[in-house]
Structure 1
Amino acid sequence: METQDSHVNSDETKDPGAATYGNFINYYTFNPPENRLGLIPEALLENLGLDSGDEPVLMLDVGCNSGDLSVALYKHLLGKNASGSKLHLLGFDLDQDLILRAEASNPFPRNIQFIPLDITDDAESQICLSSYLEKHKRSRFHLCTCFAVTMWVHLNHGDTGFKSLLARLASLSDYLLLEAQPWKCYRSAARRLRKLGRSDFDHFKALEIRGDMAAHAGQHLEKHCSMELMQSFGNTSWDRSLLLFRRR
């Protein structure tokens, strides 16, 4: 997730844990797409049975930043068939400047769309995403990806926001590919924010959901959101697990 403040402190662009909402204008210089793509099978769509039939396959990327990973994942999953594919990807972020950058560098404008949107704004996101789905005669996205977003929602919206995010993602998707930041990233983000002389995260000290964040996310999805863990693709170089869930 990104911030609405487009005037990012220069120190924050170099530090992956300093910004209040995870807004890094050069995010992919220190965490390039390859860190995740190396773990995600190129045949993922085929493995999930999403490459059969003629209907469009809809993919949602939550907190897409400047779109580098969105585009790279789209190409990764399609290989030589990236142009003119039936796969349609919608990426969104609440930072409008990053969305403008994503749109400007989008090599597949017919199949990939980027929009400014805040996933924590239930009313706005419901209207916008429902409208997109209705155009394709779908009630949910076939595949939703959420990379390194959970911590920022958790820090800024508390335990309730964390659980609401997971429920929202589950309601939007048949399959959910989730990367949740580990607890050590929370501590680092709070410490780096204080070093910049800024106020601490509103909810950090009051959070009751702590520890193994990937496990907490998985438990909530399975117990309360009608999802089940299908596969773990292992950990990235930043020690973050990539977990694939499916709707029960």
Structure 2
Amino acid sequence: MPPPPPPPEPFFPGTFLRPLCPRPALAREGGKMAAPSSAPLPCPEPGAAPYGNFPNYSRFHPPEARVSLLPDGLLRRLFPAAARPLLGLDVGCNSGELSVALYRHLLGLQDKSSLEQPAAGKDLHLLCCDIDAALIERARQSSPFPASISFANLDIMDSASREPFLSSYLGRFGRSTFDIGFCMSVTMWIHLHHGDSGLREFLAFLSSLCEYLLIEPQPWKCYRAAARRLRKLGRNDFDHFRSLAINGDMAERITQILTKDCAMELVCCFGSTSWDRSLLLFKSNGSNQEGREPSGS
């Protein structure tokens, strides 16, 4: 039998791991949805999902492939003194499989048959939003943790909708920001539909709203694949695809935006999935989040 794989390197918040994650072999491409519209978006076939709202996304990008890259006890390491419930925001949650997997992993609920209290010593309330109402309804119906995980049909790029909704949710906990945000294969869809300025606005918004941000950017080859799918279906190209000045190494470009423009710092790269996407953890340095409560409050 081959020897077991070596254990992952220890993770210490505040430690920079550069360069960004090495690239694995090319695998099947796809994308998770963002939120450029609040209307239902039926998608009878995977290629007909121009907003990333693939109806069976978890079948070709399984959640376990992401969460297995994250160290155990991550919440304890990030928030060692927090006595209050932690708040998380998952943007572009699709039908919720990855959201539930993240919740289980972060709280030490590895046994999927168990609905016991979290073993990680932390209480987490997770708000998950997506543009596709049908996917959100599926997520609600199948969620094993309805008291802790909320699913909402929300256009995250519609400030008139998002501001009151998110403020209302946070207000239930007496908070103005989230402890941790998740943006898993969403940035490309925001970028394609809202351009360079939309991507910058989106990242600035998330960085102002979350103390930590775990982000999985799609590489540039996924942009080309998404445009190619539309062409094969005889549909119009994405409005901004051919005019994007932010291109190339998207993990590096997004890191530059978050660190130089959004007052965040890169804490760690947890590695890359087999389909060539890096998991990057950022932390706010505090200057872009006025009125934030300290983690230990």
TM-score interval w.r.t. the shorter chain? over 0.9
Residue of structure 2 equivalent to 1:6: 41
Deviations 1:142-173 (A, max 9, x none): 00000000000100110011111100110110
Q: Find the aligned partners of 1:176 and 1:19 in 2 and give their Cα distance.
A: 26
Percent identical residues:
55
Q: Say whether residues 1:218 and 2:247 are aligned partners.
A: no
Q: What's the CA shift for 1:204?
A: 0.4
Alignment partner of 2:132 out of 85, 89, 95: 95
Q: CA deviation at 1:42?
A: 2.1
Change (3 A) 1:159 1:53: closer
1:43 is aligned to 73
When the two chains are superposed, the root-mean-square deviation of aligned CA atoms in Å is 1.5
Which has more helix, going by share of residues?
1
Q: Note the C-alpha offset of 1:82.
A: 6.0
Structure 2 unpaired stretches of 5+:
1-33, 286-297
**49, 61, 64: which one aligns with 1:31:** 61
AA aligned opposite 2:42: H
Separation in 1, partners of 2:206, 2:115: 26
Counterpart in the other structure of 1:19: 49
Decide which structure has the larger Cα Rg and report it.
2
Aligned to 2:243: 206
Tell whether 2:100 aligns with 1:71.
yes
Name structure 1 gaps, 5 residues minimum: none
Shift of 1:84: 4.3
TM-score by length of 2: 0.78
Higher relative contact order (CA 8 A, sep 6+): 2
Which residue in the other structure is 1:57 paired with? 86
Q: Structure 1 pair 175/194, CA: closer, same or farther in 2 (3 Å)?
A: same
Mapped partners of 1:204, 1:5: distance in 2: 23
For the pair 1:190 / 2:190, whether they are aligned, the reply is: no
Return the offset for 1:126.
1.1
Q: Distance in 1 between matches of 2:42 and 2:136?
A: 15
Deviation at 1:7, TM superposition (A): 2.6
- Distance in structure 2 (CA, Å) of the matches to 1:246 and 1:82: 30
Structure 2: how far apart are the matches of 1:8 and 1:110? 29
Q: How many residues align?
A: 242
1:103-122 equivalences in 2 (<5 Å)? 103-122=140-159
SS in 2 for 1:79: coil
Question: SS of 1:176's equivalent?
Answer: strand
TM-score between both structures, scaled by the size of structure 1? 0.93
* Mean Cα deviation higher: 80-89 or 133-142: 80-89
- The 2-side partners of 1:137 and 1:5 are apart by 32
The answer on whether the counterparts of 1:84 and 1:111 sit within 8 Å (CA) in structure 2 is no
